[in-house]
Structure 1
Amino acid sequence: MNRRQYLIGAGTGISTLPLVSSSGGATGHISIDIVETNAPLEGGDLLEMTAELENSGSADERVDLDFLIGEDAVMVGERTVPVGAGETRTVDFLQFRTYPVRGDDTFPVRLETGVDTAETTVTVTGVDPCDAQYTYPDRSQKLTVQPETTIIFEVDAELVQQQGSTHWYVDGDYVTTPAGPWSSTYFADVGRELFTHTFDSTGSHLVDTAVTADDGNTASRWEVTVAEDGLEPPTVDATRPTSRELAADETTTLELDVSSAATELDRVVWWMSQSDVILGVSDLTGSSDTATIQVDGGCHTCQIEAWVIDENNMHASVSPWQFEGFGAGDDGENGGSVTVRIQGTNSPVTGGEVLEVDATLENTDTSEVTREVALVVGNNPETVDTQAMTVPAGGTEQITLVFETYPVKQDDEFPVRVETGESTAERGVYVHGTES
């Protein structure tokens, strides 16, 4: 069941019902009670619960604890908790990011141990839409785009600074809070919080953001339809210089010829990878234009990544150049041009679980290429998984990279990057805290 089905519904209650614990006739010496929640809370807030596990037996136990929400009992977390013989243990960090409902909604939450169950009912109060002037693209336009189209959704820094932080949802499921150096750089330099999503499957989709603050939350919602006859993202038609390699100690003028068959062009954001900086933003006009920037050299192995964005915030990313020292193109195996896109992750996960990052590699060259693909995690980047992938000429390949997360006690957010050498894709992920 889609979690949105019960979190979008308009409930009538506005207060938390009394906490209830019931074993339902089960036997055993392990009991569970919910002792505290932070409900009622606003849509988009983090539901937090505290429970107590009691072991009335004479032996130490390791208890499997499941956290479920909704009438149809969707599991949103699981944990193994040690409880000593004759002891009662407090279990914190039982959390779930609620959906930014427009009307008040009431739903059950439950903890299960296999031999006992504790349940209560919580209420999430509805939140109002934020002012449309703070969100991009224009949410009044219900976009229809082609499969594999990437859209950048943005919230103006003025609203974020007033409200606090943003949380993003796709089709009712919580995805992420923006994290990592690229998100923070974009916020500081461009003045907008951003969330990037690639739409793979046809049909209707919802993208929501909750902007949360102590004095009240607001929200924004975009409706996107994916169809084969939808709008096409912008394209890069030519690059100058044509040579891929740039001198690291010389000033060079870079040019991109870009066009859009769908709408007017808006801008190009120029990045330098590894140093994680925006070199500049070039405004565009019309359905075709040339973006230009002058760079005064760069770091060895760094690449230039350009985001081409149209007025609907549809997005194309290219990495045509690298500063000398990387060594691409030295032989047939490393020739060609590969673009990487993160298609999705299994975030959020609980600390200690395996994080999976699904990516697509696209080879735009006329010959087969082989790349070593790396998964890099954290604000202090660490490579945690690598795989060699061969991509046929003009083709694509799917890859899943994995990372066993740390059993952190508190919730953690950090960036993950998939790198091929000439292309990088980044996304923020979320890890629920757990107890050791």
Structure 2
Amino acid sequence: MRRRDYVMAVGSSVGGLGMGTRTQSISLERGCPVGDATTVRPGQDVVFEAAATPGVEPTTAEWTVDGPGAADLAPAAPFWSYTYRTGNPAAHGRFEESGIYEVSVTADGATLSWQVTVTDDAPPAPSVEVTCEPGPDATVTPNESIEVTATAADDHGNFHRLVWQEGRNATYLERVDLSGSTATVTYATTGGDAIWFVGGYPMIAWVVCRDGRTRAVRTDGPSVEALRDVSITGTNDPVHAGEDLVVDAEVAVEGDSTYHAFVEATVELIVGHDPTRVDSETVEVFAGESEPVSLEFTTATVRNTQTFPARLETRHAAAETDVTVIGTEDDGQGHLAVTGLETNAPVTGGDRLEVTVTLANTGEGPASREVELVVGHDPTTVDSRSVTVGAGETTAVTMGYDTYPVENDDEFPVRVRTGDDSASRSVLVSGRDGGDGGDEAQFAVSITGTKAPVSGGDFLAVTATVENVGGTAGSGDVELVVGHSPTVVDTRRVGLEPGETATVRLGYDTYPVANDDTFPVSVRSPHTSDTRTVTVYGTD
């Protein structure tokens, strides 16, 4: 008989149980194999585990093997942090020669043994297939989901558990109890938490049977790259035709626990209703931090004043704002701003949708403009008016069109633009299958005022009117949504009778930005929304 002693030694990089000085004796029970005897094939992988009460530290457990032939049993393997996390001594290995062996573990004076018969007649190891979604050819960001799925079968119907192990530091992640002859188990995580995939290491599934038979199968996962975010912090608009338009931004790199280094981020400036790329800049940003960047282009020498979108894009994010270029014929003259926008929405599909705006000439001379009504997610001009407004004067303009007789409810934006300015809001066209809103509550919202402009860090308040234009009483959430990447910052629950109107006040503490920031704020109900543009002054 040959006896082998094995002492467990585990690296200190894994967090311990922190047992301290023991004041009570320990008890050990068989965790795997669950019986005191088992049968395995030569060269077959076997797992041993003792359930310890209270739990033990890895260095207190000693494993021994007595038997006629060669045996390779590694204490603490395959899960180097398993005993630290569970308090249960564990070992893994194989027996190369047939015969009868005794495997023992001793911890704090308590001893537990198994008799192991090694023979070619023993059951085979279970079968396991492991896949990852997204797969090894994909690339994800830290916030994106990753799922690893193990599908296993055991002809003897003797499943006990599945243990997930990350393949970078052989770290134990999770244990799932099993039973029967088939099993499918999924481990869900994110790119930022799956640091083993970042390092190019696999994920491993250990499927263990009640008699200790086990099989380990691994899979590679997707590449993980840092998330490049971008936000516009300000522009120098309005600019005169032919001058340089500058867009200032912050580029942030989000890497969670994944990255501790500089990451390259490329930002592109795209302008116009027919989008054109006019500038790009590449900066190095340390993970978890942000860097300022400025992009610019020389505007065309246009005769009439134009307002158009300026958009910044990274490979993962985008931010957009409207900018104005003052035409050569309008330089020092009129400027037609949109100071109000109202609609008769909701309407039933096929009925006429009307939009009324108040136009104010904030310039020093008369302003003659073509005012357009643009509707839809794929913007289409459906009506226009030629107007002339004297300096310091205002006028109201109503435009509209006959909506399409849709079968289902349709919500989409409507925008009025003058060439100098624009305003938009969402409207609802009720489908004919859903009625005209007369049989249910329908909340129409309209912004009546804002506290803007405010200084960065101050409270920005928005006041709105909510009216139930439906036929029955109801309640719903009214939300304040801010930013070019819309974020809900405040919510009020409103209950109204048919025809009843309520005033709601919403707001939030603005961020103490360094530079002036102009962005949209919207108040929206489940049925409509209204939008205004506000400015937050920078601390500089």
Task: Tell me, yes or no, whether TM beats 0.5.
Answer: no
- Tell me the TM-score normalized by structure 1: 0.39
Higher relative contact order (CA 8 A, sep 6+): 1
- Tell me the TM-score normalized by structure 2: 0.32
- Structure with greater Cα Rg: 2
